[in-house]
Structures are given as structure tokens and as C-alpha cells.
Structure 1
Amino acid sequence: MQPLMTVFLILITVGAYVLSRYLYFRYNNPLVNVVLLSTSFIIAVLLLCKIPYEAYAPVQALASFLLGPATVALAVPLYRNRHLLKQYWAAIFIGVGIGTIVSMVTVLLITQAGGLPREVILSIIPKSSTIPFAVEVARIAGGDPALAAAFVVATGTFGSIMGLTLLTWFKMKNPVARGLAMGTVSHGQGVAMAFMEGEQQGSMAGVAMGMAGVFTSVLAPILIALLVK
């Protein structure tokens, strides 16, 4: 019974993605977001069919495993657009570095001004890096790794929904800049949305995601030591 259930849930997951992707290109609305729609659809199916989350665990494990090959596959479009790295390497390095610092400092000051507990502040600082980076940074700094992971997911979801729209509102049309912004702030989900807009945007978002993770790992402990009492 379990193998049949797993196959059923895999089909539901793939179907949710295909449907959400179709609706995204059909209506071109930021609220018609692939991640948000597909996740909502899967949750709805689990609730309506009264399927426990434990039954979905094998599908989640499979998806997590496929993240590795998917990340490695980012090298293919990046190789095709390597001329952009040669042309904009200084702007990429400086832009991602400043973006990472501004992201961490801004959220740190806002959470301190709001009087949030120290553990929450330390957990939210690395929110714009991917989960492996954020969890380790939060653990070293004294935050809650599970809370850090939740903030990462929330940040990526919001960024994937509103990121490209906000960039358009601010008249940012350069594909390199759009990709770097999405990858720096919204990590993996931002990369996915950037690829849906174009290969150059997606390639640059992938570069920014990796660099932002490294910058966060190096700079977050320094910022925490300087700004968190």
C-alpha cells in the first residue's frame, strides 16, 4: 500500500508543478506563483484525502535528493553565459556583497527595534542564504536552526512572489541585475523564478545564490558580534 501511496503523491506533486507553471505563464501575475500554488495544491490534497504528512515523507526525501543534481545542473546555463561573468565580474562581486550585508543589517536593526528575543534575531539574520548555510550560521551564533530554516523558506517564498514584480516597478530591466537581485535575496526559489524569466537571469541568480551563502557565512558572525548586544 505504501509504494502505491508514494507513487500517487509523486504524481500529485508533479501535476501540481505542471499546473502551477501553466497558470504562471498563462496569467503572468505575481500572485500566480509556482511555489505558492503547487504547495497549496499539495496541502489541499493531503487534507481533503486525510493523508498524514508522514505518508508524504518519501516524496519529500526524493525531492531533497534531486536538489543536488538540480544544483549541479545550474553549471550548464552558467557555462553558456560565462561571458557575462567575464564582463561583469567586479559588479557581480560588489553587488552581491553589498546586497548580502544590507539584507542582514536591515533585518537585524528592524528586529532589534521591534524588541524580538535574541534567539529570534540570531535565527533571522541569515534568512537570505540557502538553508544549509542559514542553519549552520544560526547554530554557531546561538540561534535556533529550525527557526532559521523557517525564515529562509518564508523569505524565498515572498521573494519568488514579489521579487521580479518589484524589480519591474523600479525600472530594473537589465537581465544580469535582475538575476543577481533574485539570487542574493531569495536563494533557490528566486533562482527558479529567475530561470522562468530567462536563462541569463537564472544563471546570474545561481551565481548570486552561491556567493550570498559564502558572504553570509563569513560576515554574519562579524555583524552579530558588532551589532547584537
Structure 2
Amino acid sequence: MNSLTLINILLTIIIYMGARKLAHRFPSPFTIPILTTTIIMICIFHFSGISYDAYTPAKEWITALLGPATVALAVPLYKNKDIIKQKLMPAIVGLIIGTLSSIVSAVWLSRAFHLSENIQAASAVKAVTTPVAIETVQIIGGDPTLAAALVVASGLFGAIFGPALLTMMNISEPFSRGLSIGTVSHAIGTSQIMGEGPIQGGVSSVAMGAAAIITPVILSVLYQFL
């Protein structure tokens, strides 16, 4: 690891820690740490002249930690295992429908706007966490870098607008809110919905993990017919 990579990693961590403090002091969907950090990092790169290629080694180190971070979400899963067992069958049905809807709608919209096949493939995996999306998109011939960007965009959109949309639709039951966010907004949405309570966070963690498992299976069959 060279000095520039180390500096970029430390800079990202410091900015993220500051963004967490900002979100705690001014709680809002628009102050979620990953959104604030992303905006600040883009501004720093733009005004300092640091290219994305120069930041790539740091990005790869940070991305490598997403796997262990995803596994760590098993903790809220274990703590809420009883309620998850009680509602297992409705959760499975909702998860499958949500995952199918996310994949089909993304691909159909891409085709409706005559976007390239590369974008169509990347959009199909936007609802799963980054490590899974990067591996899965290669199965259907997409670009891993583009897929990662769409994953982040999807997660940010879900984290910012998801809880508000659920509230507008009078969906207040904690289990349902957690399941919805985790299915379509992966880790970013899960980190946001955890602020509502342990049930929402635990169920969202389960939904995120389950979606990551079934998405490659669904895509390997469904994508041939879309």
C-alpha cells in the first residue's frame, strides 16, 4: 500500500466519522453519512485534481471490508430470530416478489429508454449489496464498476426516500418496513432503517442477505427471457 492510498483511506474514514456526527446532530434523510461522505469526497477530488484512478486502490481496500460488514449484520438477525420465525412464510413471499419486481422493472425501464445492454445488466443487480452485485453482474455480462455505482445510487435513494414513502402509504408495522427497505436498498437502506428500531434493522438485515442469495439464482434463469 503506497502513501497516497493510505491517505485516501484515512481521509475517507475521517470524513465518514464527521458525517456520522453531523447526522446525529441534524437527523434527516438528507444527512445520512454515506450521502454526505460521497458528496464531500467528490468535491475534494474535483478541487484537488485527484483522479478516480488514483483513488481506486483505496476504494478496493474499503470495498473488501464490505463482506465482513455484511456478515456482521447477522447480530440483529440473531437478536430478532423469534419474530422472524413467526412471520417467515409471508416474509419469503414478499422477498421473492420484491426481488423479482426490482429486477424486471429495472431491465424493462432500461430497454424502454433504449439504454445499452451493459446498463441493463448493471441495473438488474442494483438492489443487492456491492460485493454480490459485482460478482453477479459478471454472470450476465455487465460492467462491475457500473453495477457498483448503481448499487450505491439505489441504496441512497432507498435510504433517503424509502421510509417516507412507506409512511405515506400508511405502512407502519416494523417488520414490513424492515423487509421492504432491506429487499431493495441493501446495506445503505438497512443502516438508515436501523435508526427506527431493532426489529426494523434486524428484518432489513435478513432481507438484504436473502435478496443477495436469491438474486443470482433468479437472474441466471430470468435474464434469458427479459
Q: What letter is aligned with 2:149?
A: A
Per the TM alignment, residue 95 of structure 1 is displaced from its structure 2 partner at its CA by: 0.9
The runs of 5 or more residues in structure 2 that have no matched partner are: none
Deviates more, 1:55-64 or 1:132-141: 55-64
Match of 1:171 in 2: 170
- Tell me, in whole angstroms, the C-alpha distance in 2 between the residues paired with 1:7 and 1:112: 41
* Alignment root-mean-square deviation, CA: 2.5
- Structure-2 residue corresponding to 1:199: 198
**Partner Cα distance (1:116, 1:40) in 2:** 26
How many pairs does the alignment contain?
226
Structure 1 unaligned regions, length at least 5: none
> Residue in 2 aligned with 1:146?
145
CA contact (8 A) 2:66 2:131 kept: no
Q: Does structure 1 residue 26 correspond to structure 2 residue 18? A: no
Structure 2 match to 1:64: 63
Residue of structure 2 in register with 1:95 after alignment? 94
Change (3 A) 1:100 1:132: same
Q: CA deviation at 1:189?
A: 0.9
Q: How far off its partner does 1:29 sit?
A: 2.4
User: Residue in 2 aligned with 1:156?
Assistant: 155
**TM-score normalised over the length of structure 2:** 0.85
Rounded Cα–Cα distance in structure 1 between residues aligned with 2:189 and 2:180: 9
TM normalised by structure 1 equals: 0.84
Task: Confirm or deny that 1:217 pairs with 2:210.
Answer: no
User: Taking structure 1 as reference, are residues 147 and 22 closer, same or farther at Cα in structure 2, changes over 3 Å only?
Assistant: same
* Structure-2 change in CA distance of 1:137 and 1:76 (3 Å): closer
CA distance in 2, matches of 1:220, 1:119: 15
**Which amino acid is the alignment partner of residue 114 of structure 2?**
G
Report the alpha carbon displacement of residue 53 of structure 1 after superposing the two structures with TM.
5.0
Q: Deviations over 1:103-130 (max 9, x none)?
A: 1111222222222223322221121112
Return the alpha-carbon distance in structure 1 between the equivalents of residues 4 and 127 of structure 2: 35
Contact 1:137 1:221 in 2 (8 A): no
Deviating more after overlay: 95-104 vs 119-128: 119-128
> Are the equivalent residues in 2 in contact too, given 1:123–1:144 (CA < 8 A)?
yes
Q: Structure 2 vs 1, CA of residues 152 and 112 (structure 1 numbering), >3 Å: closer, same or farther? A: same
Residues of 2 paired with 1:222 and 1:142: CA distance?
14
C-alpha separation between the residues in 1 aligned to 2:65 and 2:117? 35
- Measure the CA separation in 1 of the matches of 2:71 and 2:213: 17
**Percent identical:** 40
Cα pair distance change 1:103/1:196, threshold 3 Å: same
